[in-house]
Amino acid sequence: MSLLSVHGVTKTFGGISANRGITFDVASGELVGIIGPNGAGKSTLFECISGFYAPDAGEIALDGARLNRLSPDRVCRLGVARTFQKLRPFSGMTVVENVMVGALTRTKNVKHAREQAHEWLRRVGLVEKANAHARTLSTGQRKRLEMARALATQPRVVLLDEVTGGVDQRSIPGLVELVRELHAGGLTVLLIEHNMRVVTAVAKRILALHMGELIADGPPELVARDRRVVEAYLGQAYVA
Amino acid sequence: MKTFAAAIVFFAAAGLAPLFVRDAFFLDTLVLMLVWGCAAGAWNIAGGYAGQISLGHATFFGLGAYAAALCGVRWNISPWYGVAIGAALAMAAGTVIGFLSNRLRGPYFVIATIAVSQILLIGASRWRGFTAGSEGIPVPFRPGFWTLGIADKRLWVWIVLGLALLVYLVQAYLERSRRGFQLAAVREDEDAALSLGVPARRLKVVAIAVSAAFTAICGAFWAQYVGFVDPVYVFSLDLSVRFSLAAIIGGLGTALGPFLGAVLVTMVETWLRAELGGLGSNLIGMYLILYGVALILMVRFAPQGIVGWARQR
């Protein structure tokens, strides 16, 4: 049974189709990696699902409820949370307050929200930074903060955009482990990832986008050998 | 907690002062400080907490002032109705401007708010049959609490102090409540707030509407206290700047800050007018230059305002 269904999603900017007729389903508890070269339309797809862009055509539904044409805050309250590729912490607030904003979407009680926020910070390994200002965090810590904040909204599906992008090499294994743990806890995850090693390490299914189109959908070993995927990444000369 | 104690001291001092000091000039200044403090606090709800910087809050102040004055002059009913009508009108206008804030961000929003206040200024100056045009309206003085014809300035201090406490409490609520955290998130990064399920658009509209309503109540009280409503003054950019300046000097997004800022601004302005004003003086507008200098110094050296600066000590 599919939890998130994306059907025929098309989004154009001027003459450029950033997404063209993208269709796939994600079952509850799945972890799906999304790969593709720069400009393939990965982030646009996330923007469409999370309500920041209205698709020109197509349908997006969560558990049968239509998401497209809803505002981003409604989409979040229905159960789809996201992180941003370009990190956007609330820099003037403390780390725990950042996460409280997420938690307050589900509880009206500020004290409960603070407790929940501490719990999420513990899970992502940031609890000792709880009272620090968000602007003092390193990039890797900010990635963790964004995840904690998104997860505090208690999503059914979480969209993670470039978890390891811009992070120093030593922090990558910890972040990968975190994504794996969250998934093991039953969370449904869509993961945009540039780093093939990361994505093949965590995802059992990969979607490959190229020039706005979905060109492959399957287990990592098959997608990595797919002729069109290799062509998109490395150019025609490498197609065996 | 420390700022809460400071607030108690501040409001208690304002409330008790009339018992000991009978000097009319002092009481007059105190009333005006509190009125400007309330207006700055009301401005802070939109500008400080929600991050919607407006330079058109004179719109709401003027609506309140005119509503109170016209109730007495045109319909011969209690100015208290004017307070309510002014607040309702300002709330409606605030809602419209709030929707604008969802279309326009940053400087575009600021310019739109100025434009709205200028439209009302022109409207009030030209609609002679109703508003008496640019001559302004003298507010009739009918003694009594119900008619807000109060000669005793001490009573005025306490009336306006009541409003000040209300404005303070609304702000204090925004400092520690769920809605306060959500508004702070909207102020920091609206898209990130939206992605976390914060109904940013609705919250901004409500914040601006509430801010507008309180500003109108200030305008209505001010009109009754001063006894004359002049469109060029009540809808002026000067007044809008005064509200925002007091809030910025006191501390954006702090509950007590706007009141402290208003005290400072009013004191300096009163003193300068007395020193430099008067017949034949060439320095009558000097206080405006000092406003500008103060703002530059403030933004340069203590951008968090008096309260923010004190917290860091």
Nearest to B185 among A90, A110, A150 (CB): A90
DSSP B48: I
State the smallest CA–CA distance between residue B86 and chain A in angstroms: 32
Give the percent of chain B with pLDDT over 90: 45
Nearest CA in chain A to B177: A110
- Given a cut of 80, whether residue A235 has pLDDT beyond it is no
Q: Is B188 domain-assigned?
A: yes
pLDDT digits (tens, 9 = 90+) for A76-93: 999 999 999 888 999 989
Q: How far apart are CA B7 and CA B9, in angstroms?
A: 5
Cβ atoms of A141 and A107 closer than 8 Å: no
The CA–CA distances, whole Å, from A161 to A81, A208, B46 equal 11, 15, 33
Q: Is A193 on the interface with B (CB under 8 A)?
A: no
Q: Is B242 domain-assigned?
A: no
Q: How far is CA A14 from the centre of its chain?
A: 26
- Given a cut of 80, whether residue B172 has pLDDT beyond it is yes
Suggest the residue from A50, A52, A90, A98 to mutate for an interface test with chain B (most B CBs closer than 10 A). A90
Question: Residue B45 belongs to what domain range?
Answer: 2-236
- Given a cut of 90, whether residue B311 has pLDDT beyond it is no
Q: Is B300 domain-assigned?
A: no
Which residues sit opposite A13 in a β-bridge?
Answer: A16
Q: What is the pLDDT of residue B215?
A: 96
Q: What is the pLDDT of residue A142?
A: 92
Per the model's pLDDT, the better-predicted residue between A61 and A224 turns out to be A61
Q: Is B243 domain-assigned?
A: no
In chain A, residues with a C-beta closer than 8 Å to the C-beta of B312 are none
In chain A, residues with a C-beta closer than 8 Å to the C-beta of B183 are none
Cβ atoms of B246 and B215 closer than 8 Å: no
Q: What is the pLDDT of residue A164?
A: 83
pLDDT digits (tens, 9 = 90+) for A13-24: 988 889 999 999
Q: What is the pLDDT of residue A46?
A: 95
Q: What is the pLDDT of residue A226?
A: 86
Average pLDDT over residues B244-257: 90
Q: What is the pLDDT of residue B283?
A: 66
Per the model's pLDDT, the better-predicted residue between A169 and B226 turns out to be B226
pLDDT digits (tens, 9 = 90+) for B36-50: 999 999 999 999 999
Q: Is B286 domain-assigned?
A: no
Task: Kindly list the structural domains of chain A, giving each domain's residue range(s) and its CATH number in brackets, ordered by start.
Answer: 2-87+155-238 (3.40.50.300)
A1 band by pLDDT with thresholds 50, 70 and 90: low
Helix (H/G/I), strand (E/B), else coil: A31: strand
Lateral strand order in the sheet of A65-66: A16-27, A2-13, A57-62, A65-66
Nearest to A90 among B178, B192, B201 (CB): B192
- Given a cut of 60, whether residue A240 has pLDDT beyond it is no
Q: Is B267 domain-assigned?
A: no
Q: What is the pLDDT of residue B278?
A: 63
Backbone φ and ψ of A185, nearest 5° = -75, 0
Nearest CA in chain A to B194: A73
A217 band by pLDDT with thresholds 50, 70 and 90: very high
Q: What is the pLDDT of residue B77?
A: 86
Q: What is the pLDDT of residue A100?
A: 96
Q: What is the pLDDT of residue A38?
A: 85
Residue contact A150–B178, C-beta within 8 A: no
Q: What is the pLDDT of residue B282?
A: 67
Q: How far apart are CA B222 and CA B89, in angstroms?
A: 17
Tokens at B234, concatenated: 């009540």
Per the model's pLDDT, the better-predicted residue between B102 and A190 turns out to be A190
Interface pTM, i.e. ipTM: 0.92
In chain B, residues with a C-beta closer than 8 Å to the C-beta of A72 are 191, 194-195
How many residues in chain B? 313
Q: What is the pLDDT of residue A22?
A: 94
Q: What is the pLDDT of residue B275?
A: 75
Residue contact A101–B191, C-beta within 8 A: no
A56 band by pLDDT with thresholds 50, 70 and 90: very high
Lowest mean pLDDT across A164-168, B168-172, B175-179: A164-168
Which residue spans within B24-174 are E strands per DSSP? 137-138
CA angle A44, A45, A49 (to 5 degrees): 115
Average pLDDT over residues B175-193: 94
Average pLDDT over residues B172-181: 93
DSSP B78: -
Tokens at A18, concatenated: 């950033």
State the smallest CA–CA distance between residue A92 and chain B in angstroms: 7
Q: Which residues of A100-128 are buried (b: 16+ CB within 10 A; e: fewer)?
A: bbbbbbebeebeebbebbbebbebbebbe
Q: What is the pLDDT of residue B279?
A: 60
Nearest to B182 among A81, A101, A150 (CB): A101
What average pLDDT is seen over chain B?
Answer: 88
- What DSSP letter does each residue of B176-230 carry, written as one string? HSHHHHHHHHHHH-HHHHHHTT--HHHHHHHHHHHHHHHHHHHHHHHHHHH-EE-
Q: What is the pLDDT of residue B211?
A: 96
- Given a cut of 90, whether residue B103 has pLDDT beyond it is no
Q: Is B266 domain-assigned?
A: no
Nearest CA in chain A to B203: A73
State the smallest CA–CA distance between residue A150 and chain B in angstroms: 6
State the smallest CA–CA distance between residue A74 and chain B in angstroms: 6
Nearest to A72 among B182, B185, B194 (CB): B194
Q: Is B290 domain-assigned?
A: no
A95 band by pLDDT with thresholds 50, 70 and 90: very high
Residue contact B197–A102, C-beta within 8 A: yes
A193 band by pLDDT with thresholds 50, 70 and 90: confident
The total number of structural domains that make up chain B:
1
Q: How far apart are CA A14 and CA A56, in angstroms?
A: 12
Q: What is the pLDDT of residue A236?
A: 64
Average pLDDT over residues B288-293: 78
B289 band by pLDDT with thresholds 50, 70 and 90: confident
In chain A, residues with a C-beta closer than 8 Å to the C-beta of B196 are 73, 76, 81, 101-102, 105, 149-150, 152-153
Cβ atoms of B171 and B45 closer than 8 Å: yes
Per the model's pLDDT, the better-predicted residue between A236 and A197 turns out to be A197
Q: Is A54 on the interface with B (CB under 8 A)?
A: no
